[in-house]
């Protein structure tokens, strides 16, 4: 590898979804709408939790953090794609590509780790209800979020530094709508063995360990629910974790589907389309999943809207 080859890279080309000019306004409108729904929906969850003292519990503490991360996760990829469509340009500079890759990995893993922390919270609440307030104290909740941030930063930093050691030649086209790690590695013309080893090891460890923790938590939760004698008690216990289970299923099923399909040759375009599910659709649906079946969130949102209505009327008067 010639030292400094990568400094000659001016830009990558993000091919996106379609080269048809007629479809670009439709794609722009669709993604712009989904992005606005994602941002405002998750912001409402954050405002509802922060404004209602009854929601200052571990469950909603993790939920508000998840909403914040979802906003950042989507903001890493969608705005750049919208700008490229609007300016009729598919280019992204080398530095911007590495930065996008870094933050995508950071918020993607953070999303995963927060879902794991929420599964642990539901495990303690259902399996050990008498010890819940002692176990899930503010110090432990804060520590779980802090450790999640540290692991996410280190994970994305390692991959970004590994990319910086690579050289790139002439094949700079990325068949995706953002700088996806595996696609960037495949564009390199230097040896990528070490990058691939780190990629697979990190995916196995940081993807497999949280999933194992979630599956273990829910196996214990199901066992505890089955021991409840009354049907009403079973329903009440299950309803407390139904929303989280829905989000976990949506996140993991779509993410695993994308990376399994990306292993197939000549399937990059379909992989890019499938990636929309966990990078855009899942963060957009999270506020709806947590609010439609959650009476506490509904009540907090109503109070928030009522306060804003009163404020606007007072300002008009």
One-character DSSP codes across 177-220: SS--HHHHHHTBSS--HHHHHHHHHHHHHHHHHHHHHHHHHHHH
Q: Looking at residue 39, what DSSP letter applies?
A: H
Query: Which tokens go with 293?
Result: 């079946």
CB 11 within 8 A of CB 91: yes
Q: What six digits make up the tokens of 60?
A: 């909603």
Average pLDDT over residues 60-78: 95
pTM for the model: 0.89
Among the listed residues 107, 46, 45, the one whose alpha carbon sits nearest the alpha carbon of residue 76: 107
Which of 8-12, 90-94, 152-156, 275-279 is predicted most confidently?
A: 152-156
Could you tell me if 104 and 80 are in contact, meaning their C-beta atoms sit under 8 angstroms apart? no
Q: What is the DSSP letter of 279?
A: I
On average, the pLDDT of the chain sits at: 86
Region 175-184 average pLDDT: 90
pLDDT at 2 over 70: no
Q: Which helix (H) or strand (E) holds 89?
A: none
* Segment 259-282 mean pLDDT: 70
Q: b vs e for 51-62, b when ≥16 Cβ sit within 10 Å of the residue's Cβ?
A: ebeebebbbbbb
Q: Output the six-digit token pair for 137.
A: 């104290």
Interhelix angle 24-51/282-292, rounded to 10 degrees, is 40
Rounded (5°) CA angle 111-116-118: 95
pLDDT of residue 5: 47
* 310 — pLDDT class (breaks 50, 70, 90): low
**CA distances in angstroms from 300 to 242, 288, 294, 304, listed in the order given:** 19, 14, 10, 6
Q: What is the pLDDT of residues 21-33, one digit of tens each?
A: 788 889 899 999 9
Q: Which residues of 104-129 are buried (b: 16+ CB within 10 A; e: fewer)?
A: bbbbbbbbbbbbbbbbbbbbbbbbee
Mean of pLDDT values over 274-285: 86
- pLDDT for res 39: 96
What's residue 311's pLDDT? 63
Spell out the domain ranges in the chain: 9-316
Here the tokens at position 173 are: 């086209």
Q: How far apart are CA 107 and CA 126, in angstroms?
A: 28
3-state secondary structure 57-83: CHHHHHHHHHHHHHHHHHHCCHHHHHH
Q: From the CB of residue 75, how many other CB atoms can be counted at a distance below 10 Å?
A: 16
9-316: CATH topology: Rhopdopsin 7-helix transmembrane proteins (1.20.1070)
294, with CB counted inside 10 A (0-12, 13-18, 19+), is buried
Structure-block tokens of residue 31: 């993604």
């Amino acid at each position: 590898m010639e030292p400094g080859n990568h400094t000659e890279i001016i830009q990558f080309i993000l091919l996106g979804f379609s080269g048809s000019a007629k479809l670009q306004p439709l794609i722009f409108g669709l993604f712009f709408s989904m992005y606005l729904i994602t941002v405002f929906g998750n912001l409402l969850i954050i405002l509802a939790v922060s404004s209602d003292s009854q929601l200052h519990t571990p469950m909603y503490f993790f939920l508000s953090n998840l909403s914040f991360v979802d906003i950042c996760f989507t903001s890493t990829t969608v705005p750049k794609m919208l700008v490229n469509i609007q300016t009729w340009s598919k280019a992204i500079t080398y530095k911007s590509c590495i930065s996008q890759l870094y933050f995508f990995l950071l918020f993607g893993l953070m999303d995963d780790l927060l879902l794991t922390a929420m599964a642990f919270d539901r495990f303690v609440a259902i399996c050990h209800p008498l010890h819940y307030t002692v176990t899930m104290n503010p110090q432990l909740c804060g520590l779980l979020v802090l450790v999640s941030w540290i692991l996410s930063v280190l994970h994305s930093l390692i991959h970004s530094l590994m990319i910086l050691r690579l050289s790139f030649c002439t094949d700079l086209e990325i068949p995706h709508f953002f700088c996806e790690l595996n696609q960037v590695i495949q564009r390199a013309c230097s040896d990528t063995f070490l990058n691939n080893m780190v990629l697979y090891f990190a995916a196995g460890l940081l993807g497999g360990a949280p999933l194992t923790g979630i599956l273990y938590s829910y196996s214990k939760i199901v066992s505890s629910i089955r021991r409840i004698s009354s049907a009403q008690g079973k329903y009440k216990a299950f309803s407390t974790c139904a929303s989280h289970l829905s989000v976990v299923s949506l996140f993991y099923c779509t993410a695993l589907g994308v990376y399994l399909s990306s292993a197939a040759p000549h399937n990059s375009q379909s992989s890019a389309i499938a990636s929309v599910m966990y990078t855009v659709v899942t963060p957009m649906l999270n506020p709806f999943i947590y609010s439609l079946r959650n009476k506490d969130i509904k009540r907090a949102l109503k109070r928030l809207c009522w306060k804003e209505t009163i404020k606007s009327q007072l300002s008009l008067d």
